[in-house]
Chains A and B, each alone.
Chain A
């Protein structure tokens, strides 16, 4: 509405943001693409004066590395298990929270608590809960001093102690621990979003359904879920995006080795692979891996959007 004499003021106000974005966002985008297509690019060697030929070798190399494929496998596995589990659990909790009155506020607060935590710090707590103190665990002559509280609970219910994260533990056991931790960590955000969505659904729909004598199940399936579908789609999409970038929760539980003693890097992820390549000064590989990660995230997001466009009722 207001006609300003010139737009120089706007550019002045924007300048700090734009300068920083140019250096730390725009340039990295260009540079990442550049490095990814310079074969075997290494920052250190580039300073030394080496020149690199242009090609897609970084990409072909990365996807032929078993190490990278293992990282990809772990990442995808974590994603496809934790996102649905945490989303469904969050939906259940949110719906329940929305249909109670007393204690609702207190429970909401409790469920949100894991959000305000440091994923490294609480990862260490999870490690403590699953850790076994003793010698030769898993072998014939094992000596267990303390089995860890989780194993104590399993034994209390008559089960056998499992070697979750110690030396000699299985990949499956390790992954189980990570899945539990990641779900635990992912719940609060999802509950918050879904509960917010539920509370914004007009109560009249429910009253109308009640008047029509609709059953609880039907109300849930035909009213709640469809009306909540934009929020569900949002939660799932952000869940996948976050899931593909999983890294520090694993550092939290397993330490920088990203795996139990004797099996270093067993639980390494895509992001972990990028950082490893970076610390080995192989920026070409790191860039290619980062672009692959970006492509996967983009693809998953687009697929999600496509599906939700068909299913989501806005």
Chain B
């Protein structure tokens, strides 16, 4: 009997403890959510403010007491922004440069990664280590000479000057090589026994198996074209070859003072929306690519 009492006592204690634990747990959860939601609001706020401002009339924007949703929704701002910044041309240029450089870059990357991952040749490891070492060097160091090179070739103000210098990314070669190495060597040997040529094996086996990595590379490359600013700013003067970021910056030189913010924000939104769409539909690949890359664009 005594033992029974002990057990019930013990159970009561345990219940008390577990109730307290539950309360603490709930409080902690509430605190976690409060913090995360606050941070989320801070993160989202600039986007909200961009959309909100882009739809206001100039007069409403300039009200000393801010409004959190436009009284009159001004879709015209977007039309005006599109025309003012010549966004059509800029979109076209950026897409053109992005697509062409992505395709060429993929071909070069795949071939190089295949050579490094599957073929044997003298000096392979030294060459690969050398390539990796160049990743340490900041890109600005290359820009100085590359600017000289492309001007000497008379490439300024052209599409090729925006495409060619950045076709090879050691990082993408590295990424894809690692992916290729994960494919068992036996698949290659099996294909050899079956009389598959290297290129056919690459096309039929390696590329399908490495598709997620290739998609990640494609997205990062396209985002790179969309976001690149310094190089295009340096090598293009003519409107005809401007990319979106430069066009945007040049169309709205003033950032402070009494400028037409609704229109400016509309232009910013137009530039940002394609990125968001890509993000929404291809989130998985972007996040995968980024978590392995650590570079922006």
Contact = CB atoms under 8 A, between A and B. Distances in A.
Classify A-B as touching or not with yes or no (CB < 8 A): yes
Number of chain B interface residues as a range:
35 or more
B62 A145 contact: yes
A35 B294 contact: no
Interface string B219-246: 0000100110110001000000000110
Interface string B130-148: 0100101111111111111
B253 A17 contact: no
Nearest to A122: B46
Contacts of A122: 46, 50, 268, 272
Interface string B165-198: 1111010010000000000010011001000001
Contact of A251 (B146, B249, B254, B286): B249
A28 B291 CA distance: 29
B53 interface: yes
A304 interface: no
Contacts of A297: 136, 138
Interface stretch (A72-80, A126-134, A218-226): A126-134
Contacts of B53: 128
A23 to B, nearest CB: 7
Interface residues of A, number: 105
Given A7-B120, A146-B62, A131 B149 contact: no
Interface stretch (A8-16, A54-62, A201-209): A8-16
Contacts of A9: 115, 119, 198
Nearest to B294: A238
Contacts, number: 287
Interface in A39-76: 43
B208 interface: no
Interface in A236-263: 238, 241-242, 244-245, 247-248, 251-256, 260-261
A264 B139 CA distance: 25
Contacts of B109: 17
B168 A32 contact: no
A74 B194 CA distance: 62
Contacts of A27: 145, 149
A76 to B, nearest CB: 15
A275 interface: yes
A43 B145 CA distance: 10
A271 to B, nearest CB: 5
Interface stretch (B5-13, B71-79, B209-217, B256-264): B256-264
A230 B126 CA distance: 27
Contacts of B91: none
B141 A196 contact: no
A286 interface: yes
A83 interface: no
A176 interface: no
B164 interface: yes
A124 B252 contact: yes
B290 interface: yes
A2 B192 contact: yes
Nearest to A271: B140
A282 B107 CA distance: 37
B279 interface: yes
Contacts of B131: 21
A120 B46 CA distance: 13
Interface string A203-217: 000000000000010
A26 B198 CA distance: 29
B119 A189 contact: no
Contacts of B139: 245
B39 A111 contact: yes
A13 B296 contact: no
Contacts of B287: 112, 192
A228 interface: no
A48 to B, nearest CB: 14
B32 interface: yes
Given A27-B149, A32-B144, A116-B286, A290 B271 contact: no
Contacts of B230: 247-248, 271, 275
A2 B198 CA distance: 12
Q: Which of A21, A109, A119, A167 has the most chain B CB atoms inside 10 A of its CB?
A: A21
Given A118-B271, A125-B268, A146-B62, A254 B140 contact: no
Contacts of B66: 146, 149, 152
17 contacts: A1-B189, A7-B120, A9-B198, A11-B115, A20-B167, A96-B35, A99-B32, A112-B279, A116-B279, A118-B227, A121-B268, A152-B65, A244-B138, A245-B139, A255-B249, A278-B144, A278-B234
Interface of A: 1-4, 7, 9-11, 13-14, 16-17, 20-21, 23-29, 31-32, 35, 43, 89, 92-93, 96-97, 99-100, 103, 107, 109-129, 131, 133-134, 144-147, 149, 152, 165-167, 184, 187, 189, 192-193, 196, 216, 234, 238, 241-242, 244-245, 247-248, 251-256, 260-261, 271, 274-275, 278-279, 283, 286-287, 290-291, 293-294, 297-298, 301
The 9 A-B residue pairs whose C-beta atoms are closest, nearest first, are A7-B121, A28-B145, A127-B255, A10-B119, A10-B121, A13-B111, A28-B142, A13-B115, A116-B279
